[in-house]
Structure 1
Amino acid sequence: MTVFTKRPDRRFSTWAVITMAALAIGFAFPDSAAAGRLSTERSLSKTKHGYQIVKGHARAGKRSQRFEVRPGDCGRDPGWSDCDNNRERSEVKLKKNIRVGSEWWIGFSIYLPKDFQSSPRVKTSLGQIHQRGGPTGSAGGLPSFPPLLQMDAIGNQWQACVHVLSGSASNVRDVCAHYNLASLNQMRGRWTDVEIHIRATPGNPLLEVYVNGARKLQSNQFLRFVPKEFYVKYGIYRSFVSRHGGPMPTQVAFFDEVRMGKTRDSIAIDGRKPVD
């Protein structure tokens, strides 16, 4: 998982079994990865409406990835239950992981419909970098496996949380360092381009986030606990949904041109070679 001021166009996904009915409404349901797409897997959510490849609405090329979460859209697997932990989501995970000691750029474009609603009390993550084999703790009385980065819509803001961890690896203290990325008013009804730069090198880490070409975040406050690796998730994920005070609104977001590479140029949007 970037309107760079004036750089080329960009990025990614999983691809589709297309039925005649799906063609009629412009939808294709994901199956295997198409050429040019990064390989992904769905995370917990299995609803058909939760993840689709759609035609006719894209940052570049002809297709994009559409995510939708409705009230009560929670899933479970053998190791975790969103339903039991006050969460709802539809996300995918990139199968390509980020090893400790490596350096990567991740790019994607996100489109929020004009009627996208957020909550003033519940964070909706629209992109995350997680840790595998990292420290554990609790949050709100529930088990917590702190990620490195979350990019959350709350109120009228899209803000980044860099998880600054301290304490012990089995009972970690987790404090968010917040960075404003954009207002939701700026994002509704248009594509927003994002670039993430991560240098996962102990002793010399670096995390940067650029939105539409402007750097919005620069931090080296991570890798205090060295995990086995990092991995990227994107889509719609909302936690502690009961804080909204009623059912959360249905939320829809489109992602396109998801790329991952060793340099910033390698993730630039290129309309001549879209990730379709």
Structure 2
Amino acid sequence: MPSRRLFGVLCGLLALLPVQLAAQDMDGIRAEHANSSNRAFAVSSPVRTGPTALAFQVADGQCAGNRSYNDCANGRERSEIVDRAPVSTDTEQWYAFSVFIPSSTRPIDPANTILAQWQDTRGSGEITLGFALYREGLELTQDDPRTRQTDDMNPPRPMVMEIVVPPSRLYDQWQDIRVQAVWSAGPAGLINVWINDRLVHSHRGPNLNRDVAPSFKFGVYRSGLGRIGRPVPTQLVVFDHIRRGATEADVLIR
């Protein structure tokens, strides 16, 4: 099975490469590891395109903090990359990434496992759009632009919460995700999401509560860990073909 090949590679300790050395896996992304000492590393299997993909792994107790936020003190653990390239509001953006979840990586409900998010990193930290792993499958959420998060331990309920890939179609196979977005606090706002070329979500109108575009983040981000007992299972997820561009053609797999 693909997951066995993956863990065979990991057990053989394939290169713990700095993310800059795996630049072929990303395009249009100004990558920076987010608030963690857990770094993404390159694997040669499974891959979606090219010779390598990026793996993210988080084990129990692997938390970290920085001067502004302490994951360890707030029930969080992560291995995550944030795109620091500037993004303008009211301008069309396209994103794409492929994600592979081995069957050995299991959900940790009622805690959260967020795999990708567009987050207000310069304000409240609320998630404008996100994908998370739960027992019911891969869940898509979209924030309600009429609300504003004031407590990151108790965020307001999203406007949209829907399972877009059930467990039967989720594990040990690549999920190709493509997002068209116009981030806007006004009527020009737009979000379209395709998974494996199937349109799974569409929204027109405001998608922000202020005129600041969200930052794209991806990897493994766990929160709400105080809701479950210890130890928390190790989770590993692989990403490939991570793209951001001005047009759909910029992000398509060829």
Structure 1 regions of 5+ residues with no counterpart? 1-21, 137-144, 271-276
Whether 2:127 is the aligned partner of 1:147: answer: yes
What residue in structure 1 maps to residue 192 of structure 2? 208
What residue in structure 2 maps to residue 175 of structure 1? 157
| Alpha carbons of structure 1 residues 214 and 26: separation in structure 2 relative to 1, 3 Å | same
Residues 245-264 of structure 1 aligned to structure 2 (within 5 Å)? 245-264=229-248
Q: In structure 1, what is the Cα distance between the partners aligned to 2:100 and 2:43?
A: 13
Whether 2:183 is the aligned partner of 1:192: answer: no
Could you list the per-position Cα deviations for residues 56-76 of structure 1 after superposition, in whole angstroms to 9, with x for gaps in the alignment? 431011100000010111111
| Alpha carbons of structure 1 residues 168 and 109: separation in structure 2 relative to 1, 3 Å | closer
What residue in structure 2 maps to residue 43 of structure 1? 34
Structure 2 regions of 5+ residues with no counterpart? 1-9
C-alpha deviation, 1:116, in angstroms: 1.6
What residue in structure 2 maps to residue 218 of structure 1? 202
What residue in structure 1 maps to residue 143 of structure 2? 163
Residues 39-188 of structure 1 aligned to structure 2 (within 5 Å)? 39-47=30-38, 50-134=39-123, 136=124, 145-166=125-146, 174-176=156-158, 177-188=160-171
What residue in structure 2 maps to residue 142 of structure 1? none
| Alpha carbons of structure 1 residues 169 and 180: separation in structure 2 relative to 1, 3 Å | closer
C-alpha deviation, 1:244, in angstroms: 2.1
Q: In structure 2, what is the Cα distance between the partners aligned to 1:148 and 1:31?
A: 26
C-alpha deviation, 1:98, in angstroms: 2.0
Q: In structure 1, what is the Cα distance between the partners aligned to 2:95 and 2:223?
A: 24
SS of equivalent residue, structure 1 residue 84: helix
Whether 2:15 is the aligned partner of 1:32: answer: no
Q: In structure 2, what is the Cα distance between the partners aligned to 1:218 and 1:252?
A: 29
Q: In structure 1, what is the Cα distance between the partners aligned to 2:18 and 2:208?
A: 38
| Alpha carbons of structure 1 residues 175 and 156: separation in structure 2 relative to 1, 3 Å | closer
SS of equivalent residue, structure 1 residue 258: strand
Aligned residues: 237
Q: In structure 2, what is the Cα distance between the partners aligned to 1:73 and 1:187?
A: 26
Could you list the per-position Cα deviations for residues 112-147 of structure 1 after superposition, in whole angstroms to 9, with x for gaps in the alignment? 11212112311200100012444x3xxxxxxxx212
C-alpha deviation, 1:154, in angstroms: 1.1
C-alpha deviation, 1:218, in angstroms: 1.2
- The structure in which a higher percent of residues are helix is 2
AA of the residue aligned to 1:151: F
Q: In structure 1, what is the Cα distance between the partners aligned to 2:37 and 2:60?
A: 14
C-alpha deviation, 1:187, in angstroms: 1.8
Contact 2:179 2:191 in 1 (8 A): yes
- The structure in which a higher percent of residues are strand is 1
Contact 1:33 1:39 in 2 (8 A): no
Q: In structure 1, what is the Cα distance between the partners aligned to 2:240 and 2:21?
A: 14
Contact 2:98 2:241 in 1 (8 A): yes
The range that moved more, 246-255 or 175-184, is 175-184
Q: In structure 2, what is the Cα distance between the partners aligned to 1:161 and 1:35?
A: 29
C-alpha deviation, 1:94, in angstroms: 1.3
Contact 1:131 1:227 in 2 (8 A): no
What percent identity do the matched residue pairs reach?
Answer: 22
